[in-house]
């Protein structure tokens, strides 16, 4: 069922929710209560946090993929600068507690992983996949939940690619790498924040220089069709407001789960459980014999924190799309676009597994944790995005002009 405004109907007169919105709201409420009853209040709360993340991502249209594409193709850096605000707020909030190891009396740890060849290769693949698949990890979830049928194709092959990646994680991990290192470990919480802010400031400054040189002036935020309470209920949100919401919700995840937000480990788990259903013995693979992974494979997906939050993101995005009057799935997908979704999904899934995370687990939460692998991931993924942007015209029939930095 689609919800749309007729030409004579103002957006303010749209039904508040409609059938899809009511369904999503019921899922969020019932899911929170059921998970809280069966798996404890923390699991229910994390599902609700996932729902809030889905709403925030959708209403703010917070796309990592589009921000990188626009900067690469057009030199417009507004989205990248907001990402630097996102990361700056995150390190200020996260570092003191990660350095102390406790938050509200509970033990917490960051997403800190080795930085090596696996991260470079995986993040590069992920970057190409972002542009072909049409989204990153969080973007795939919230756009699929918002009614984008093509992103369901990307999501399916994202899961397949993640499962394939678990076959090779041991080999990639054996390649040369630096040990897990965090800035707050090397410089202390205050020093780590200072170093991080200097990096983010430098990146923001570069985007300003490039944008002014290529476009003459900085891009301004487009005017909103709604104002006041209606804007925050139905969207679109200011981009910076979306960044603040994501930081707060990631911090809530740290407080509840004891570690920052992640997305793609659940995709590997879903793929493994699906493979078991068709008779593939994934439990014999070394990846799934590791204690934590073996435990997740043996239990219900509803016992897995990342899975529960991903389900919440999908439901929250569906609710947000209904509130915005934009939930209108369409199966009219060009064949080349489907091919791009398949290739992009496989690259996204495989790359995320061998790079210790995606744009959320490695980039957002990794850098929020001060991990060197997060910074290495960002550089390699950006390079992959450059290639992905160059490949997009063949799949999407769009003109992409990439000019050199010197004009």
Interval 14-69: pLDDT, tens: 567 788 889 999 999 999 999 999 999 999 999 999 999 999 999 998 889 999 99
Task: Check residues 5 and 184 and name the one with the higher pLDDT.
Answer: 184
What pTM value is reported for the model?
0.91
Q: Distance between CA atoms of 44 and 226, rounded to whole angstroms? A: 32
The answer to whether the beta carbons of residues 160 and 346 sit under 8 Å apart is yes
The answer to whether the beta carbons of residues 362 and 355 sit under 8 Å apart is yes
Domain limits at 222? Answer: 15-396
The answer to whether the beta carbons of residues 308 and 346 sit under 8 Å apart is no
pLDDT at 241: 96
Asked if the structure places residue 252 within a domain, the reply is yes
Overall number of domains in the chain: 1
Residue 177's DSSP bridge partners are 116
Asked if the structure places residue 2 within a domain, the reply is no
Instruction: Give me the count of residues in the chain.
Output: 407
Neighbours of 294 (CB within 10 A): 13
From 310, 244, 314, select the one nearest 83 (Cα to Cα). Answer: 244
From 342, 351, 343, select the one nearest 380 (Cα to Cα). Answer: 351
The pair of structure tokens assigned to 38 is: 């069966």
Is the Cα torsion angle 101, 94, 138, 56 positive or negative in sign? positive
Residue 103's DSSP bridge partners are 106
What SS3 string covers 150-204? HHHHHHHHHHHHHHHHHCCHHHHHCCCEECCCEHHHHHHHHHHHHHHHHHHHHHH
Q: Which residue has tokens 């209560």?
A: 33
The answer to whether the beta carbons of residues 335 and 394 sit under 8 Å apart is no
pLDDT score of 11 more than 60: no
Residue 115's DSSP bridge partners are 178
Interval 320-372: pLDDT, tens: 999 998 887 878 888 999 999 999 999 999 999 999 999 999 999 999 999 99
Asked if the structure places residue 52 within a domain, the reply is yes
Chain-centroid distance of CA 36 in Å reads 25
The pair of structure tokens assigned to 40 is: 């404890």
Asked if the structure places residue 69 within a domain, the reply is yes
Neighbours of 406 (CB within 10 A): 5
Asked if the structure places residue 404 within a domain, the reply is no
% pLDDT > 90, the chain: 80
Interval 185-236: pLDDT, tens: 999 999 999 999 999 999 999 999 999 999 999 998 888 888 888 898 888 9
Omega of the bond leading into 67 within 30 degrees of 0 (cis): no
Asked if the structure places residue 389 within a domain, the reply is yes
List the beta strands (DSSP E) in 8-59. Answer: none
Neighbours of 235 (CB within 10 A): 23
Asked if the structure places residue 95 within a domain, the reply is yes
Asked if the structure places residue 9 within a domain, the reply is no
Interval 287-329: pLDDT, tens: 999 999 999 999 999 999 999 999 999 999 999 999 998 887 8
Inter-axis angle of helices 41-60 and 137-145, nearest 10: 90
């Amino acid at each position: 069922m689609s919800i749309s405004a007729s030409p004579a109907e103002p957006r303010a007169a749209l039904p508040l929710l409609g059938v899809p919105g009511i369904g999503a709201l019921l899922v969020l409420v019932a899911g929170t209560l059921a998970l809280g009853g069966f798996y404890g209040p923390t699991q229910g709360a994390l599902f609700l946090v996932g729902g809030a993340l889905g709403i925030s991502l959708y209403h703010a249209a917070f796309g990592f993929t589009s921000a990188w594409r626009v900067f690469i193709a057009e030199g417009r850096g507004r989205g990248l600068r907001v990402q630097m605000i996102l990361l700056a707020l995150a390190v200020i909030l996260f570092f003191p507690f990660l350095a102390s190891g406790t938050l509200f009396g509970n033990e917490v740890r960051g997403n800190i992983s080795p930085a090596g060849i696996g991260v470079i290769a995986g993040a590069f693949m992920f970057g190409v996949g972002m542009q072909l698949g049409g989204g990153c990890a969080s973007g795939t979830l919230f756009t699929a939940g918002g009614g984008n049928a093509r992103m369901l194709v990307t999501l399916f092959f994202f899961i397949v690619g993640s499962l394939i990646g678990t076959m090779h994680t041991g080999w990639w991990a054996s390649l040369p790498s630096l040990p897990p290192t965090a800035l707050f470990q090397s410089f202390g919480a205050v020093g780590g924040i200072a170093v991080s802010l200097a990096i983010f400031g430098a990146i923001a400054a570069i985007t300003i220089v490039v944008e002014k040189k290529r476009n003459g002036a900085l891009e301004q935020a487009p005017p909103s069709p709604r104002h006041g309470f209606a804007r925050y209920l139905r969207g679109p949100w200011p981009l910076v407001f979306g960044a603040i919401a994501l930081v707060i919700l990631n911090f809530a995840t740290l407080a509840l789960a004891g570690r920052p937000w992640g997305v793609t480990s659940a995709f590997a788990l879903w793929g493994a459980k699906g493979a078991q259903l068709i008779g593939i013995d994934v439990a014999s693979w070394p990846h799934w014999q590791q204690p934590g992974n073996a435990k997740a494979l043996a239990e219900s997906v509803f016992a897995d924190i990342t899975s529960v939050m991903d389900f919440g993101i999908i439901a929250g995005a569906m609710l947000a799309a209904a509130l915005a009057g934009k939930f209108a799935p369409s199966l009219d997908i060009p064949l080349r676009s489907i091919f791009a979704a398949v290739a992009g999904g496989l690259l996204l899934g495989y790359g995320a597994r061998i790079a210790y995370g995606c744009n959320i687990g490695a980039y957002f939460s990794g850098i929020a944790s001060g991990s060197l692998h997060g910074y290495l991931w960002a550089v390699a993924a950006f390079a992959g995005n450059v290639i992905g942007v160059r490949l997009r015209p063949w799949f999407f029939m769009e003109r992409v002009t990439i000019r050199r930095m010197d004009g």
